[in-house]
A and B are shown apart, each in its own frame.
Chain A
Amino acid sequence: MGLILTEDQLILRDMAKGFFDEKSPVERMRTLRDSQDETGFSRDLWKEMGDLGWLGIPFPEAVGGADMGYGELGIILAECGRALAPEPFLSTVLLGGNAILLGGNEPLLKELLPEVCSGERILCLAFQEQGRFAPYSVETRATRDGDGFRIQGSKQFVLDGHVADQIVTLARTAGSTGERDGLSLFVVDAGAAGLTIQRSELVDGRGAAQVSFQDVTIDGARVLGEIDGAADLLDAVLDRATIGLCAEMVGCFEEAFERTLEYLKTREQFGVKIGTFQGLRHRASEMFGELEFARSVVLDAQSAVDDARDDVAECASGAKARCSDVACLIGGEAIQMHGGIGMTDEEEIGLFFKRLKAAELTLGDAVYHRNRFAGLRGY
């Protein structure tokens, strides 16, 4: 059923906790941010995670993966969230990696995925063209050119686009913006002629890029899924990535909530611990409830993927709708309950607040996902 962790999963969780405690305290995130590190994460640590087999969790053994499930991946992602580790799980494993796994032909899988699993290759997915999440609003065009294609257009908010070796690119081969039909996915090498990649730093300290395509030519063999018919593939990739992102968010909720709870138990005002005030006690109870509910729906969504259930899309949207709301609640309350100190850059709780806001708005907010869920439910 996947609602509780198995013995093996508990061991994996303890291992991951130990790993991040030792190698990735929250402070590391701040150091990377303040030093304006060019990569934005640690390639060494990423390779170590590759060596541990964590990056290959959702990939088959034939391409160097561990052939495990989202139950396991979610455990690692939650610990990442807890530690605010900026390593490129979302871009490389969940978005780019899944696009190749689910849509690539045999040679592409063999060429690209082994190094994803080992931590030596960074991927990204360039799909977004506007601020609000609207995956089919694609104006970037790919036109036929002999055996291959030529891409023209630009993409925003390409997570880890500044360091990716391949940019999996969503472009329109037919139809007009907003339509599900007419979309195609391509694997573009970062060094391709006509490609401009500009790095931007995000509010949570992580990196993304603006990517523009000036007549970038693509070999016909580097198409994922079907030409004009990539929307289903895109949905499947986004659903898995969304579920993974939610798992990371739950880890982040846990840590932000625990820190806030600790503050309620230690900070004194009016001669008493602030946690004695009922106004705060009730709100803490509310946060606890939301955290538990979020955990349940994310575990269920993970097993929906692992058990190949037919409600993955409903579960993904349901989980992201909830996690986005909970991110707002727990992030906001975490700052509020810390009072003035919570507003300082020095206090770490603000880093959680920012990471949660970034996650809330990435891959669709609560309103988007409730609407999608409603559509899937026939209203």
Chain B
Amino acid sequence: MSSASIDEFKQEVRGWIEEKLPADLRVGNRRDLPKESLGRWIKALVSRGWIAPQWPKEYGGGGLDRKQAAALMRELKAVRAPIVSSFGTSMLGPTLLEFGTEEQKQEFLPPISRHEVRWCQGYSEPGAGSDLASLQTRAVKEGDEYVITGQKIWTTGADSADWIFCLVRTDPAAPKHDGISFILFPMHQPGIEVSPLTLIDGSAEFSQVFFDGARAQAKHVIGPVNGGWTIAKRLLQHERSTDGGSEGGITGAMKETLADLVKREVGLQEGVLADPALRQRLADQELEARALRLTMARAGAEARAGQTARDIGSLGKYRWANMVKNEQDIAMLALGTKGLGWSGAGFEDTQLERTRAWLTTRADSIWGGTNEVQLNVIAKRVLQIPE
């Protein structure tokens, strides 16, 4: 796409946003967005296919090329529009586009791009976390169906999900990587019990999921039976790249930027932060965010130019996780005991929000492969140091 037509596209997007995006939504990806406004905004996005901007139109996507999609994202971020993304758009969709049959794509992609069906990810089990391939949940074929027995844990959004993409063991006799299948089935059925877990930040969006004779259709196995591991790993790459590429992660959703918070709490003396150590940390944090953004942009540009085959996804996920955690660590230092509120009097919203974010972000170096696992992956795959 030529730069002139990209400019035209940008203008069009700008006008469209102006018309469709109400002021009360221009606050970033927050949890407490007004429901009605948000609903209308999602409808507007759906009508353009912009829930999944780069998917083909036939699956309800926007049919945009990479440059257009990037321009759209930039325009949306510039006005702090809520970015609507889901397990369906960021993980399952791209995986289906690559490995699904035409029939599977027709069945599952359009409801995702219409933001109608919620998905959850059934990977981890109590005994299979970092060592995911040791998973034990069984699926046994019975006619056109699989019968599923076992347990998943940490399943984000399981209590509100309509469907699950799940890793199951279909051949217990095979070596552990070779007996796994990737299968889709509905969550609302007998034989599935969801039990939410409360996390350290007080949220309960994660669940244990128990399967006792749950049913999946055999045609909903993605890729070959017992060939699910390859697909599982590919999906993890999509998961890891979801956040490595974004500058702020949860930051974008904070009521106040970190720099503003630190300036307010610590104070400036003749334009200089009163605490020299925090000044250093804040500068370091801002520089890290820039460097991460540049590195992901560079990796993308290199890949497109065919200059390198280095997989930088693990590095991005690792550095992103550290960055978002570090942001909240700095915020807590700046807040002092004002960062220790849980509820009741004496704490402002902006402060409580930081406290929760500090707790929430501890998970970012755990999900999608822990920091240690990302470093393992870099050593093995990128640096190719023999084990």
The chain A residues found within 8 Å of chain B, CB to CB, are 1, 3-5, 261, 264-265, 273, 275-276, 278, 281-282, 284-286, 288-289, 292-293, 295-297, 299-300, 318, 321-322, 367, 370-371, 373-375, 377-379
Mask: chain B, 357-379; 1 = CB below 8 Å from A; 0 = not: 00000000000000010111011
Mask: chain B, 310-327; 1 = CB below 8 Å from A; 0 = not: 001001001100000000
Distance in Å: Cβ of A164 to nearest Cβ of chain B: 34
With A1-B301, A321-B287, A371-B283 as contacts: A296 and B262 at CB distance below 8 Å: no
Question: Which of A3, A276, A292, A371 touches B279 (beta carbons < 8 Å)?
Answer: A371
A296 cross-chain contacts in B, Cβ below 8 A: 291, 294-295, 297-298
Give the 9 A-B CB pairs with smallest separation, nearest first.
Answer: A281-B379, A285-B378, A296-B294, A370-B283, A3-B298, A275-B385, A296-B295, A374-B283, A285-B375
With A288-B382, A379-B259 as contacts: A293 and B295 at CB distance below 8 Å: yes
Q: How far is the CA of A114 from the CA of B262 in the complex (A)?
A: 50
B387 cross-chain contacts in A, Cβ below 8 A: 276
Chain A interface, >50% SS class: helix
Distance in Å: Cβ of A373 to nearest Cβ of chain B: 5
Mask: chain B, 297-311; 1 = CB below 8 Å from A; 0 = not: 110011001010000
**Counting chain B CB atoms within 10 Å of each CB, which of A4, A5, A378 scores highest?**
A4
Q: For the complex, is B386 an interface residue (Cβ under 8 Å from A)? A: yes
Q: How far is the CA of A265 from the CA of B385 in the complex (A)?
A: 6
Q: How far is the CA of A297 from the CA of B288 in the complex (A)?
A: 10
Task: Determine if B283 and A288 form an interchain contact, defined as CB atoms under 8 angstroms apart.
Answer: no
Distance in Å: Cβ of A347 to nearest Cβ of chain B: 21
Q: For the complex, is B219 an interface residue (Cβ under 8 Å from A)? A: no
With A265-B386, A273-B386, A379-B259 as contacts: A373 and B283 at CB distance below 8 Å: yes
With A286-B375, A292-B315, A297-B291 as contacts: A4 and B283 at CB distance below 8 Å: no
Task: Determine if B385 and A377 form an interchain contact, defined as CB atoms under 8 angstroms apart.
Answer: no
A-B contact pairs, 25 of them (CB 8 A): A4-B302, A264-B385, A265-B386, A276-B386, A281-B376, A281-B380, A282-B379, A285-B315, A285-B382, A292-B295, A293-B295, A295-B298, A296-B295, A296-B297, A297-B291, A321-B284, A370-B279, A370-B280, A371-B280, A374-B279, A377-B286, A379-B262, A379-B268, A379-B271, A379-B282
- State which residues 229-261 of B face A: CB under 8 Å: 259
Q: How far is the CA of A252 from the CA of B92 in the complex (A)?
A: 42
Task: Determine if B279 and A299 form an interchain contact, defined as CB atoms under 8 angstroms apart.
Answer: no
With A276-B387, A281-B379, A293-B291 as contacts: A374 and B273 at CB distance below 8 Å: yes
Q: For the complex, is B290 an interface residue (Cβ under 8 Å from A)? A: yes
Q: For the complex, is B383 an interface residue (Cβ under 8 Å from A)? A: yes
Distance in Å: Cβ of A282 to nearest Cβ of chain B: 4
Q: How far is the CA of A107 from the CA of B280 in the complex (A)?
A: 44
Q: For the complex, is B192 an interface residue (Cβ under 8 Å from A)? A: no
Question: Which of A273, A278, A377 touches B283 (beta carbons < 8 Å)?
Answer: A377
A375 cross-chain contacts in B, Cβ below 8 A: 271-272
A299 cross-chain contacts in B, Cβ below 8 A: 294, 298
**Counting chain B CB atoms within 10 Å of each CB, which of A4, A5, A379 scores highest?**
A379
Task: Determine if B291 and A4 form an interchain contact, defined as CB atoms under 8 angstroms apart.
Answer: no
Distance in Å: Cβ of A295 to nearest Cβ of chain B: 8
Distance in Å: Cβ of A117 to nearest Cβ of chain B: 31
Mask: chain B, 24-40; 1 = CB below 8 Å from A; 0 = not: 00000000000000000
Q: How far is the CA of A295 from the CA of B312 in the complex (A)?
A: 14
Q: For the complex, is B222 an interface residue (Cβ under 8 Å from A)? A: no
B302 cross-chain contacts in A, Cβ below 8 A: 4
Q: How far is the CA of A284 from the CA of B381 in the complex (A)?
A: 13
A377 cross-chain contacts in B, Cβ below 8 A: 259, 283, 286
Number of B residues near A (Cβ < 8 Å) is: 42
A367 cross-chain contacts in B, Cβ below 8 A: 280
Q: How far is the CA of A4 from the CA of B273 in the complex (A)?
A: 36
Task: Determine if A379 and B315 form an interchain contact, defined as CB atoms under 8 angstroms apart.
Answer: no
Q: How far is the CA of A318 from the CA of B287 in the complex (A)?
A: 6
**Counting chain B CB atoms within 10 Å of each CB, which of A4, A288, A374 scores highest?**
A374
With A3-B301, A276-B387, A377-B259 as contacts: A318 and B272 at CB distance below 8 Å: no
Q: How far is the CA of A4 from the CA of B283 in the complex (A)?
A: 26
Q: How far is the CA of A263 from the CA of B242 in the complex (A)?
A: 35
Distance in Å: Cβ of B197 to nearest Cβ of chain A: 29
Task: Determine if A297 and B290 form an interchain contact, defined as CB atoms under 8 angstroms apart.
Answer: yes
Question: Which of B273, B276, B385 touches A281 (beta carbons < 8 Å)?
Answer: B385
Task: Determine if B271 and A288 form an interchain contact, defined as CB atoms under 8 angstroms apart.
Answer: no
Q: How far is the CA of A95 from the CA of B206 in the complex (A)?
A: 58
Residue of B nearest to A325 (CB): B284
Question: Which of A3, A284, A322, A374 touches B385 (beta carbons < 8 Å)?
Answer: A284
B295 cross-chain contacts in A, Cβ below 8 A: 292-293, 295-296
Q: How far is the CA of A374 from the CA of B271 in the complex (A)?
A: 10
Distance in Å: Cβ of A96 to nearest Cβ of chain B: 29
**Counting chain A CB atoms within 10 Å of each CB, which of B262, B294, B380 scores highest?**
B294
Question: Which of B279, B294, B379 touches A379 (beta carbons < 8 Å)?
Answer: B279
B287 cross-chain contacts in A, Cβ below 8 A: 297, 318, 321-322, 370, 373
Q: For the complex, is B263 an interface residue (Cβ under 8 Å from A)? A: yes
Residue of B nearest to A292 (CB): B295
Task: Determine if A292 and B312 form an interchain contact, defined as CB atoms under 8 angstroms apart.
Answer: yes
Distance in Å: Cβ of A335 to nearest Cβ of chain B: 19
Question: Which of B259, B282, B291, B379 touches A322 (beta carbons < 8 Å)?
Answer: B291
Q: How far is the CA of A369 from the CA of B230 in the complex (A)?
A: 45
Q: For the complex, is B168 an interface residue (Cβ under 8 Å from A)? A: no
Residue of B nearest to A367 (CB): B280
Task: Determine if A282 and B386 form an interchain contact, defined as CB atoms under 8 angstroms apart.
Answer: no
Q: How far is the CA of A1 from the CA of B302 in the complex (A)?
A: 12
A295 cross-chain contacts in B, Cβ below 8 A: 295, 298
Q: For the complex, is B292 an interface residue (Cβ under 8 Å from A)? A: yes
Residue of A nearest to B377 (CB): A285
Q: How far is the CA of A63 from the CA of B284 in the complex (A)?
A: 40
Q: How far is the CA of A292 from the CA of B288 in the complex (A)?
A: 12
Q: How far is the CA of A261 from the CA of B379 in the complex (A)?
A: 10
B375 cross-chain contacts in A, Cβ below 8 A: 281-282, 285-286
Distance in Å: Cβ of B269 to nearest Cβ of chain A: 11
Given A300-B294, A379-B262; 11 other pairs, CB 8 A cutoff:
A265-B385, A281-B375, A281-B385, A285-B374, A288-B378, A292-B295, A295-B298, A371-B283, A374-B280, A377-B283, A379-B263
Task: Determine if B383 and A284 form an interchain contact, defined as CB atoms under 8 angstroms apart.
Answer: yes
Question: Which of A276, A278, A289, A297 touches B318 (beta carbons < 8 Å)?
Answer: A289
Residue of A nearest to B263 (CB): A379
A297 cross-chain contacts in B, Cβ below 8 A: 287, 290-291, 294
Mask: chain B, 15-50; 1 = CB below 8 Å from A; 0 = not: 000000000000000000000000000000000000
Q: How far is the CA of A161 from the CA of B187 in the complex (A)?
A: 76
B273 cross-chain contacts in A, Cβ below 8 A: 374, 379
Question: Which of A1, A282, A370, A379 touches B284 (beta carbons < 8 Å)?
Answer: A370
Task: Determine if B307 and A4 form an interchain contact, defined as CB atoms under 8 angstroms apart.
Answer: yes
Q: How far is the CA of A300 from the CA of B297 in the complex (A)?
A: 11
